[in-house]
Structure 1
Amino acid sequence: MHTEQLLNWGIIGCGDVTEVKSGPAFNQVPNSKLYAVMRRNAEKAADYARRHDVPVWYSSAHELIHDPQVNAIYIATPPSSHEFYTIEALKAGKPVYVEKPMALSAESCQLMAKAAETYNVKLTVAHYRRAMPYFIKIKELITEIGDLRFVNIKFYQPPFSSIIASSEENWRVNPEISGGGLFHDLAPHHIDLLNWFFGEPTRVNGFSANQSQQSKADDIVSALLTYNTLPVTGIWCFDAPMKEDLCEIVGARGSIQFAFHGSKIVLTKDGEITHFPFIHSKHIQEPMIAEVVKYFTNEIATNPCPAKEGINTMAIIDQLTGNKF
């Protein structure tokens, strides 16, 4: 694929998450157009296409994948179908941008990566926060607080108050569809960022439980990740009496505090406090999609988030949620 070529994107799964966060962004970046969308409900697929001025819609993923005008695929279905659709698209020679979590398990992710290698087609995971200026700034600031001492994560939500996009069915707490509970939907971002900041963990310890029994999914996860000599502790609780979203990175000269789903960074360095406010893009995946388009059209050689990173994140999640209290 050459840089002057236009990517005609097809979205498999044009649900609520694509309405603002990602879908419109495909028309906002150079060399990119949202050409086709698919949803099993034909009426809703047609409605999405009409409202977003998308030329073509389908109720069949197979038909969208094999549309000769579609030359790049964004998979935004629930995780249970990521492996199947990704492999079918890669086999058809279409590069794939797949939502996080990459799949239901690390084993499933590995099969997707193997397919990309077998068919020699590009595959990128939608850990889009890597491309957001907010998190790029945090990564830069880490170098200013001296030798790192520890990281602490607190992520709490009351039941049924998730910050994620709504959906008609609460599939996010159905392990057969999501892989687990809200931890599987939200924590992949958090864990991927930790890996992006600090590298691969050298040790992974943790436990999970279904304390409330309000669904089939675990609603609390505790973790201790070690990045060489840097310990990262975290509690994710989705049945708490309060909301909390705080990550604190502590170094010899100060600390960085931020929310994973926030817009302000607080740097304390040598006793001085500095605030860094951010205004995120309306279409929050737009910076990542811009990088993916450059990668898929060979404008850049580096994959913005290769399959290996998705595998690493899911392997950590598998380990944390595989141990029960």
Structure 2
Amino acid sequence: MNTINWGIIGAGDVAEVKSGPAFQKVENSNLIAVMRRNAEKAKDFAERHKVPFWYDSIDDLLANKEINAVYIATPPSTHLEIAKKCLAAKKLIYLEKPMTLNAEEASALNKIVSKNDTIVVAHYRRKLLPFLKVKELIDSNIIGNIIFADIQILQSNENDIITKTEDHWRLKPAISGGGYFNDIAPHQIDLMYYYFGEIEDSTGFSHSSKNNKVDDLVNGIINFKNGVQFRGIWNFNANERETKDECKIYGTKGSITFSFYGEKVILTSDEKNEVFKFTNPKNIQQPMIEATVNYFLKKTENPCTVKEGLEVMKVIDSFIN
């Protein structure tokens, strides 16, 4: 195998800009098929993005022998079932986050692929320059030994950081696993895991201010095995004036501050103060997709394994259950 030929299952809003076009831009990668239950929408996506094949059936897409990898971009409630189908069809998988509906499903998937890791979880912030810079600064010891990290995600009902759809499936726990927290927190928790390593324990509390079984206020803490402590709060019903998106990592010699949706990293340390600015790619998943292609071509290690994704899902569930 020297080229990865992709099929997308769930060619919706996320695939439209964040990921879909990137499969056509990465070296040794081709997007050759898309699938949506709505045939007209599948055809429209394929024609606009110059994709040769389109389907309204998962089985029909998987029957295409030219496809050797699949991007699963459907809502989380279908991830486990579709992943099983793709694995049975011997397709490689790039799996959208959250990787499953909950940690129980994530554990089931991990058992299936533990000996033959053919899945990459789409925690794509791992490969974006601002977050790679944060890791570089942490590893350089410029802020000394890490003590704790603090995350505050305060968003109003008018927030524009979350992709919204006509059916608002992200606010339907049976489909999303929770609310907006389940949609965006995997990125933030994964980065903490990526930066600080193995997790000893985690716990949290959550609340639905609208009494609709969708938690819009979540508060959680993590104890990492290396002693680093974490606390985070997510509020999706904040006053517009109080909106905030910030992570601050404290060390014995300074701190690192950054936003999950911005392109700037601020270093404050005993040695120096500096602001690093970056420009993220238009198709924001492109660097992760490139790393995934290289992994599937056996050129590098898996950029985010199912086992790592499982650890993130355990934390998510511990915060809201």
Task: State the TM bucket, normalised to the shorter chain.
Answer: over 0.9
Tell me by how many angstroms 1:32 deviates: 0.4
In 2, the alpha carbon distance for the partners of 1:132 and 1:163 equals 17
Q: Secondary structure at the match of 2:199?
A: coil
Map 1:180-219 → 2, pairs under 5 A: 180-213=178-211, 215-219=212-216
What are the equivalent positions in structure 2 for 1:222-301 lying under 5 Å apart?
A: 222-228=219-225, 229-241=227-239, 242-270=242-270, 272-300=272-300
User: Which amino acid counterpart does residue 139 of structure 1 have in structure 2?
Assistant: K
What do you get for the CA RMSD once the two structures are aligned?
A: 1.3
2:50 counterpart SS class: coil
1:70 counterpart (67, 72, 93): 67
Q: In structure 1, how many angstroms separate the alpha carbons of the residues matched to 2:205 and 2:28?
A: 45
Q: Which amino acid aligns with 2:311?
A: N
User: Which is further off, 181-190 or 102-111?
Assistant: 102-111
Given residue 140 of structure 1, which amino acid in structure 2 is its aligned partner? E
How far apart in 1 are the matches of 2:39 and 2:181? 31
Amino acid of the structure 1 residue aligned with 2:163 = A
Per-residue deviation, 1:216: 3.1
Q: Verify the 8 A CA contact 1:42 1:59 in the aligned structure 2.
A: yes
Per-residue CA deviations over 1:207-261 (Å, capped at 9, x if unaligned) read 1110133x43110110111113221111100111131001000111110000111
Aligned residues, how many? 316
CA separation of 1:151/1:23 partners in 2, compared to 1, >3 Å: closer, same or farther?
same
- SS of the residue aligned with 1:153? strand
Instruction: Provide the rounded CA distance (Å) in 2 between the counterparts of 1:20 and 1:106.
Output: 28
How many angstroms apart in 2 are the aligned matches of 1:201 and 1:173?
A: 28
- Aligned 8 A contact 1:95 1:121 in 2: no
* Distance across 2 between alignment mates of 1:166 and 1:204: 29
Match of 2:320 in 1: 321
For residues 234 and 203 of structure 1, the distance between their equivalents in structure 2, rounded to whole angstroms, comes to: 14
- Higher mean displacement: 303-312 or 204-213: 204-213
DSSP-derived class of the 1:20 partner: helix
Measure the CA separation in 1 of the matches of 2:252 and 2:114.
43
1:13 aligned partner: 10
1:70 is paired with a residue whose SS is: coil
Q: Which runs of 4+ in 1 moved over 4 A?
A: none
Give 1:144 shift: 1.4
Specify which of 104, 108, 112 is matched with residue 105 of structure 2.
108
Q: Contact 2:162–2:180 (CA<8 Å) still a contact in 1?
A: no
8 A contact 1:46–1:57 mirrored in 2: yes
Decide whether aligned partners of structure 1 residues 121 and 206 sit closer, same or farther in structure 2, where only a CA change above 3 A counts. closer
Q: Is the 8 A contact 1:98 1:126 kept in 2?
A: yes
What whole-Å deviation, never above 9, does each CA across 1:30-54 have from its counterpart, x for those lacking one? 1100000000110000000010000
Whether contact under 8 Å (2:142, 2:271) holds in the other structure is no
Amino acid across the alignment from 1:203: D
Q: Does the 8 A contact of 1:113 with 1:123 survive in 2?
A: no
Shift of 1:272: 3.4
Kindly report which structure 2 residues correspond to 1:22-37, keeping only aligned pairs within 5 A, or say none.
Answer: 22-37=19-34
| Cα contact 2:55–2:61 (8 A) shared by 1 | yes
Q: Please give the per-residue CA displacement for 1:285-305, whole angstroms capped at 9, x wherever unaligned.
A: 1110001001111122x1110
Give, in whole Å, the separation in 2 of the partners of 1:123 and 1:266: 34
Structure 2: runs of 5 or more not aligned:
none
Question: Residue 34 of structure 1 aligns to a residue in which SS?
Answer: strand
Between the aligned partners of 2:178 and 2:253, the Cα distance in structure 1 is: 38
Offset, 1:166:
2.4
- The amino acid that maps onto 1:129 is R
- Give the Cα–Cα distance (whole angstroms) in 2 for the partners of residues 113 and 306 of structure 1: 9
Relative to structure 1, the CA distance from residue 272 to residue 299 in structure 2 (aligned partners, 3 Å threshold; closer, same or farther) is closer
Q: Which residue of 2 aligns with 1:312?
A: 311
- Hey, what's the Cα distance between the residues in 2 that align with 1:194 and 1:139? 10
Alignment of 1:134-153 (within 5 A): 134-142=130-138, 143-153=141-151
1:41 aligns with 2:60: no
TM-score where L is the length of structure 1: 0.94
Counterparts of 2:59 and 2:219, CA distance in 1? 40
Per the alignment, residue 93 of structure 2 pairs with 96
